[in-house]
Amino acid sequence: MPVTIKTKVGQNEITVSGDDDKDLIKKISFWGQLPKKCGNCESDAIGFGHADRSGFDFYFMKCSSCQYEFKFGQKKDHSGLFPKSNKWEAPFASSGNDEEYTPPARPAPRPAPRPASRPAPVARNSQVVDDDDDDIIPM
């Protein structure tokens, strides 16, 4: 028996249909893992986009407020899409000729944290001698 459900992604209402409850859950799981708001500016003014760049198809969600993009990967057999990561990224910048594209500079990596200084090790089975040097006290 066909089953239909509606869900919201940003300001977009999506209707998903399946042949039965298992098929519906399989299909709605993709839409359910998509962000409801922009990960950069928290706006819900997000929509879906597609671009053909140098013969390659790119699929993404785009925030109309800050222009950041949430990118999708395509399965090897081209049967569907998947979220590439949970990151929103600055939009693809191109001068119009994709061969001249230079990606934006990335910030320098943070230096590794310095290890905390440790107190000097204390030798085991050491002995402490009192001031008059006639008694030895084991530790």
Task: Let me know if residue 60 belongs to a domain.
Answer: yes
Report the share of the chain in percent with pLDDT over 90: 12
58-94: per-residue pLDDT in tens? 899 999 989 999 999 888 888 888 888 888 998 765 4
What's the number of domains the chain is made of?
A: 2
**pLDDT confidence tier of residue 95, bands split at 50, 70 and 90:** very low
Q: Is the pLDDT of residue 124 over 70?
A: no
pTM: 0.56
Q: Are residues 46 and 9 in the same domain?
A: no
- The string of DSSP codes covering 44-89 is S-EEEEEEEETTEEEEEEEETTT--EEEEEE-TTSS-EEES-S--B
Domain with 24, as residue range(s), is 1-34
Of the pLDDT bands very low, low, confident and very high (cuts 50, 70, 90), residue 126 is low
Which structure tokens are listed for 132? 């008059």
Residue 58 φ/ψ region, left for φ over 0, alpha for ψ in the -120 to 50 degree band, beta for the rest: beta
Residue 109 has pLDDT above 90, yes or no: no
Tokens 């409850």 found at:
21
**Is residue 132 in a domain?**
no
47 plus 29 within the same structural domain: no
